[in-house]
A = this chain, B = another copy of it.
Amino acid sequence: MHKKTDPTIHDIARELNISASTVSRALQNNPRISLKTMEKIIALANSVGYRPNTMASNLRNKRSNTIGIVVPLINRYFFSAVISGVEEVAFKAGYTVVISQSNDLANKEISIVHSMLANRVDGLIISIAMQPTNYEHLKTFRKKNIPLVLFDRTIAEIDTNKIVVDDFMGGFRVTQHLIEQGFKRIGHMAGPQNLQTYIDRKNGYVEALLKNGISYDESLVITNSLRSEDGIDAVQQLMNLPIPPDAIFCGNDTTALSSMIYLRDRGIRIPEDFGIVGFSNEPFSKVVSPSISTIAQPGFLMGQKAAELILSQIEHKEKSFKTLVLPTELIVRE
């Protein structure tokens, strides 16, 4: 028969006829313990395969050594890149990463956030769901003084750390790019306007139009959830206008792709007859035919920065809130 339970410091203490406190101290390299005892303890700990019980230690220390990350969908290139970046930094710093996805549903997000609170995460990194809500669940973090970093999709209402790409400049640049390509009547597929991200992209779009002496025509802007199907619906709508656009700035690459396929299937040549640009630089946008010009969002970097930011808040009790704006890059393709 095998011993069921993992060895604890008490087991080691009993074996060596010393106290658990000494074992605990020895394993933490406390200088108050003599070298001799220390060696004995460490040797035995290794031989019995002792692993400290993090739950006990965390309980006592009132910290979980865990940071939470919540994204709308794990299985999306940009988000998984962010997660990857967070994990890298967090792991190096000795933190565990717990993860959850909201599926863009406010209710699931709330439920997740409560669960993260119950798990006493030391900090939370979140890209909030598209579905709007009152964000009470996030304000709790402020009240309890738990570090919180919003990334990518942020809202002005919550005063905390934020990491975003320069959506305004991004929107401006892709639109400018379309104009430079000779397109005159440029539509825009915008994301939910409760999120700063999509507001900024749209503002960049509008600014680029105005700078180039093109008047802003509201009928050319369609706001939706930027899912693949939404892209198709929106393109249909736009193309049915009395004077349809000759180019579209899509709020993300997903809709850019679905729009492109839809138009191509209808015999519209891209980019000769019609211009399409996206936003995000999803990996597919490079390899589709024709490849899509888009704005690169540095996901991995964003994750690293988010992790660094939250760790500095956790460990140095940094009080001030920062908003990091990462530069975007226009990637010109076919």
Interface of A with B (CB < 8 Å)?
2, 5-6, 49, 51-56, 58-59, 62, 64, 66, 73-77, 80-81, 83-84, 87-88, 91, 96-101, 112, 114-115, 117-120, 140, 143-145, 257, 283-284, 286-289, 299-300
Contacts and interface: CB of A to CB of B under 8 A. Distances in A.
Given A91-B112, A288-B289, 11 more contacts: A49-B140, A51-B118, A54-B118, A55-B59, A74-B84, A75-B81, A77-B77, A97-B98, A257-B287, A283-B284, A284-B284
Contacts of A114: 51
A5 B120 CA distance: 11
B98 A99 contact: yes
A298 to B, nearest CB: 12
Contacts of A118: 51-54
A63 to B, nearest CB: 9
A72 to B, nearest CB: 11
A8 B165 CA distance: 40
A59 B120 CA distance: 14
Contact of A287 (B91, B101, B143, B284): B284
Contacts of A115: 96
B99 A119 contact: no
Contacts of A101: 84, 87-88
The interface centre, meaning the residue of A74, A115, A145 with most chain B CB atoms within 10 A of its CB, is A74
A99 B112 contact: no
Nearest to A65: B119
Contact of A99 (B73, B99, B284, B300): B99
A287 to B, nearest CB: 4
Contacts of A84: 73-75, 101
Contacts of A91: 100, 112
Contacts of A99: 83, 87, 97-99
A52 B87 CA distance: 27
A74 B74 CA distance: 9
A283 B87 CA distance: 23
22 contacts: A2-B143, A51-B117, A54-B118, A55-B59, A74-B80, A74-B87, A75-B77, A75-B84, A76-B80, A80-B83, A91-B112, A96-B98, A97-B98, A97-B100, A98-B99, A257-B287, A284-B286, A284-B287, A284-B288, A287-B287, A287-B288, A288-B288
Q: Closest 4 CB pairs between A and B?
A: A289-B289, A80-B80, A75-B84, A287-B288
